[in-house]
Structure 1
Amino acid sequence: MIKWFAAFLGYLVFRFPGAILGFIVGSLLDNVGGGQRDPRTIFQDYARPNVSPADFELNLLSLCSIIIKADGQVNQRELDYVRQYFLSTYGKEKANAIFRTFNEVIKKREISAQRIATYLAQRTRYEVRLQLLHFLFGIAQSDGRVSEAEIRKLEEIARYFKVGQYDFQSIMAMFIKSADNAYKILEIEKSVSDDEVKKAYRKMAKKYHPDRVVTENEAIKKGAEEKFKEVQKAYETIQKERGIS
């Protein structure tokens, strides 16, 4: 708990850079004090060793803030979505402490999407960046729709994440419905042959199959299962449309 207090003090003295420094120093003091290690976030299993849990969590908070503020207003349902994530990951007491810091420090400061996304792109594997985009789309969609401003901000983050356009369109299609959604999820054009549809399905099913996520973290497993179900639904939709057996 020291790290969140230190982050707040750092913000008061040196604004956002001070918050980051205070958070990191406070994390070290927490560990020295013999406290239990924080549980991993649903993304931390994917992160490379050179990203500490403290760094990762602070940058995740920053990304949440960027998306919540993307359309110029703070929506309560989007805040609730983020809060529910922290509740499911850390439990009520710690989640409340984190969210207070999120409200008082992170959300009140303009944050560079380029700086945060570039930092994470250099220190995480491609899989985590796809998972992060999926999570950020979930925040944007939690109020019932993903606005144009939110899409533009998500596209910007994806560019700095170095996420391919087909992967971005595939994830977006899981949240924004359109006539060609099924094809976008499978990362193909509507004009492709039936054989190419089958090939694309096998590729995407392999890419998002839950068995590829080797972890004991139930949240990660659930996220992988949701993506896999979307791929299956997309293929079944095209099968029905084309009469593919």
Structure 2
Amino acid sequence: MSGFASWIGGALGWTLGGPIGAAIGFAIGAAVDKATSKGLLLEPPKRTGQQRNKRADSVYDKRRRRVSSAQKQAETKSGDFEVSLLVLSAIVMKVDGEVSDSEKNYVRAYFVKMYGKERANHAFQLFNGILKKEDLSTREICQQIQLYMDHSSRLQLLHYLFGVTKADGHVSESEVELIEKIAGYLYINARDYESIKAMFYDPVDSAYKILEIDKSVSINEIKKAYRKMAKKYHPDKLQHLGEEHMKGAKEKFQHVQKAYEKLQKERGF
């Protein structure tokens, strides 16, 4: 448990308050209870989960009143992004009533790839606890994320969530509908949502959707759209999250490049 506690202490920032803090408090409480039942802890924690969550919500409310848009990028750290991923993944995975082993394995593999095995194991302990929590409010959690997280990081969250839905080879309509709702709560507009969705689902016009343009546009407009999207999805925009998140950012950027190359070939320019 000491390693888990150390990871929690080092990974979290603004997520310690509000609805995400409440979800984390529940998950930590579940992990502590499990460890206590196995004799790994000599004493239970002094504060109950309810007291911990109430205190976290109070801290969140105070910070919410003074946060500004300019602070978002500075305050969104790797640990905050990491926990946001875990909570939103749990919400999406539970929407169709069944969490498959392949979906869980995708989350574990993703975290191992990004953070290494030890940190991923701690993250998965937390993730399993969050999966057990029944009253997660999608709207409130997304409002907290939107309040503190910059736009580029929110786009990356959406990219990851589509990866989770495809992990088991079956994408339910309810999962896609929920991700679209999450995008709205995160203040991600419809064009950005369709752009990222097209990176995972390959309709005939996916290249146009990724570049956020219509089929009727001119070649010059395609070039202009490519420059705009390359700037929007450039990995440098996620440097503040740390090197561990750059691979996912590069994958998104590569989709833009491939979409442009496809249209170059189709339109002959």
TM-score above 0.5: yes
Q: Mark the CA change 1:238 to 1:52 in structure 2 (over 3 Å): closer, same or farther.
A: closer
Matches of 1:184 and 1:52, distance apart in 2: 30
Matches of 2:94 and 2:126, distance apart in 1: 16
SS in 1 for 2:96: coil
- CA distances 1:219-245 after superposition (whole Å, capped 9, x unpaired): 3221222122111111111122222x2
Please state if 1:10 is matched with 2:35. Answer: no
Write the letter of the residue equivalent to 2:187: K
Matches of 1:54 and 1:22, distance apart in 2: 20
Q: Which runs of 5+ in 1 are unaligned?
A: 25-45
Matches of 1:146 and 1:19, distance apart in 2: 36
SS in 1 for 2:259: helix
- Deviation of 1:81 (Å): 1.2
Aligned to 1:40: none
Question: Which residue, 182, 185, 192 being the options, matches 2:217?
Answer: 192
SS in 1 for 2:255: helix
Matches of 2:187 and 2:73, distance apart in 1: 16
- CA distances 1:97-126 after superposition (whole Å, capped 9, x unpaired): 3323322x2111231110111110011111
Matches of 1:10 and 1:212, distance apart in 2: 35
- Deviation of 1:152 (Å): 0.4
Aligned to 1:81: 106
TM-score of the pair, normalised by structure 2? 0.71
- Deviation of 1:146 (Å): 2.9
Indicate the percent of aligned positions where both proteins have the same amino acid. 46
- Deviation of 1:49 (Å): 4.5
Q: Mark the CA change 1:70 to 1:185 in structure 2 (over 3 Å): closer, same or farther.
A: same
Q: Which runs of 5+ in 2 are unaligned?
A: 9-23, 34-46, 58-70
Q: CA RMSD in A?
A: 3.1
Q: Mark the CA change 1:201 to 1:54 in structure 2 (over 3 Å): closer, same or farther.
A: closer
Write the letter of the residue equivalent to 2:29: G
Deviates more, 1:93-102 or 1:143-152: 93-102
- Kindly report which structure 2 residues correspond to 1:81-230, keeping only aligned pairs within 5 A, or say none: 81-103=106-128, 105-110=129-134, 111-214=136-239, 217-230=242-255
Question: Which residue, 236, 239, 243 being the options, matches 2:264?
Answer: 239
TM-score of the pair, normalised by structure 1? 0.77
Q: Mark the CA change 1:143 to 1:186 in structure 2 (over 3 Å): closer, same or farther.
A: same
SS in 1 for 2:97: coil
- CA distances 1:9-58 after superposition (whole Å, capped 9, x unpaired): 6357966x56757999xxxxxxxxxxxxxxxxxxxxx9645567766544
8 Å contact kept, 2:73–2:149:
yes
Matches of 1:115 and 1:232, distance apart in 2: 35
Matches of 1:238 and 1:52, distance apart in 2: 36
Matches of 1:53 and 1:22, distance apart in 2: 23
Matches of 1:174 and 1:83, distance apart in 2: 22
Aligned to 1:37: none
Deviates more, 1:156-165 or 1:224-233: 224-233
Q: Say how many residue pairs are matched.
A: 221
